[in-house]
A = this chain, B = another copy of it.
């Protein structure tokens, strides 16, 4: 699958170097800051669960109480463990309840107390991480037992009823019809909630809330399907929005297999503060690395607001940045579901060959990553007959260019969140294309110096130019200027900035310590 584009290896190397240089300052930022959600994730790892009578999770109550007393900059691990020792409470959830009732005072331990607290905190959080490790081993076992899908790309389908109890049978039906991966998309509002809802939910808009219980229910249902089908069916959710680190943690704890997790999606498409995002990002990726979760990045989204031809190189740049951030956080290549999409205006002459050029460029730049190939959305219309055709060509481009994860397009894209029958029609489409033309990539040889090679090399050149400008100007400024998805997001604006703190001296995060210690 390599070498069809005749890319210049020196240019490819240069692109990677530039991405590292552009990303490094942001990593430094992430290493020197924490957020409320990172700290709540730490508490979840340490075993704090449940919510108060209003449905506010106890991790939120506990972090809020710590912040009220000593601020966020020291991390919550030490103050919490110190208070637990002081109060003689073994169970941190109990401590959280007390804190919620206002009956605990927090302080930052020092000296001998600090050392003891460090040890205790590390033990508590370590237990959580061990649970994640067990879940990963369990996944490995189940994959061994049931097997992986027979074909590449893996077939990825969404369910989106808003009601976990409608989602489950639909997901199982989809698996039976051939889905290898089920994604439960989230209710429109969730990304801006600064807490993770609790329990099974039935009330989402255009998606179902991501909760630990919903994760558990769906994973159990798909374990059942995996047994039935003799093929391990993967489950995906979204580690994005204000609670990205916690959701990543819950995903690790409930053995989710893939998570949407992008370095810039929240900034651009949810107007979340850039610093908040980059800090949350790094932590969540470290968790994903540990949990053996494949991440899916969100470059496809840029092409819904920007033009897919004009902005093709911004996708490449973002993929290179996502790759750098991912490696830095400990993710291996096989975990990088870098995103891209079939979003060129279908009325453009040679649009399909342009799609092939772009898709192949990503394939050859990231030969070991299971690229996530997203279907047409922007140019889908209410003409569902045309829509199904376009999806067929999307599927074809996917197999001709060796994509890793095929997000199945729906003929009703412009109309409704998918119906049961849409999914069935879509899967039939995928099956036809993969079965009938699955070997066509062998006969697909872009003419030397021809349209496809020229286009791919041109996009790579543009990407390198843009990366050079970003290195000069900083990534944060580039984001502020609307470089990605023609959406301008200044570093001092956006939601969730008040939940960010610079590390104080003595900041301690046992999770980071464990995760980085064992990279």
A contacts, CB < 8 Å to B: 346-353, 356, 383-386, 388-390, 392-393, 396, 411, 425, 428-429, 432-433, 435-440, 442-447, 450-452
Contacts and interface: CB of A to CB of B under 8 A. Distances in A.
A313 B316 CA distance: 47
Given A442-B447, A442-B451, A447-B442, A432 B389 contact: yes
B385 A352 contact: no
Given A443-B445, A443-B447, A450-B443, A429 B389 contact: yes
Contact of A425 (B351, B385, B429, B447): B385
By CB atoms of chain B within 10 A, which of A351, A436, A442 has the most? Answer: A436
Given A351-B436, A352-B437, A432-B346, A411 B393 contact: no
Given A351-B436, A385-B411, A392-B393, 6 more contacts: A346-B436, A349-B435, A385-B385, A386-B429, A389-B389, A442-B447
Contacts of A429: 386, 389
A347 B389 contact: no
B425 A386 contact: yes
Contact of A452 (B346, B347, B443): B443
A319 B351 CA distance: 35
Nearest to A355: B436
A23 B348 CA distance: 48
Given A392-B392, A443-B452, A447-B443, A435 B351 contact: yes
Contact of A386 (B346, B428, B437, B445): B428
B446 A443 contact: yes
Nearest to A390: B432
A387 to B, nearest CB: 9
A425 B450 CA distance: 32
Contacts of A428: 383, 386
A439 to B, nearest CB: 6
Contacts of A353: 436-437, 439-440, 443
Contacts of A432: 346, 386, 389-390, 393
Nearest to A447: B442
Main secondary structure of the interface of A (DSSP, over half): helix
Contacts of A425: 385-386
10 contacts: A350-B438, A351-B435, A353-B437, A385-B425, A389-B389, A389-B392, A392-B392, A392-B393, A444-B444, A444-B445
Contacts of A385: 384-385, 388, 411, 425
Contacts of A439: 350, 353, 451
Nearest to A432: B346
B389 A435 contact: no
A351 B436 CA distance: 5
A4 B511 CA distance: 60
Given A346-B432, A392-B393, A435-B347, A352 B386 contact: no
A353 B350 CA distance: 22
Contacts of A450: 442-443
Nearest to A445: B445
A449 B347 CA distance: 36
A411 B392 CA distance: 15
Contacts of A440: 352-353
Nearest to A354: B436
Which 3 pairs across A and B sit closest by C-beta, in order of nearness?
Answer: A352-B436, A352-B437, A445-B445
A470 to B, nearest CB: 32
A447 B353 CA distance: 19
By CB atoms of chain B within 10 A, which of A347, A389, A438 has the most? Answer: A389
A422 to B, nearest CB: 10
Nearest to A357: B443
Contacts of A392: 389, 392-393
By CB atoms of chain B within 10 A, which of A390, A443, A447 has the most? Answer: A443
A308 to B, nearest CB: 13
Nearest to A384: B385
A347 B434 CA distance: 10
A331 to B, nearest CB: 34
A438 B392 CA distance: 16
A158 B180 CA distance: 42
Nearest to A431: B347
Nearest to A453: B443
A437 B350 CA distance: 5
A381 to B, nearest CB: 11
A393 B444 contact: no
Contacts of A390: 432
Given A436-B346, A440-B352, A451-B442, A389 B388 contact: yes
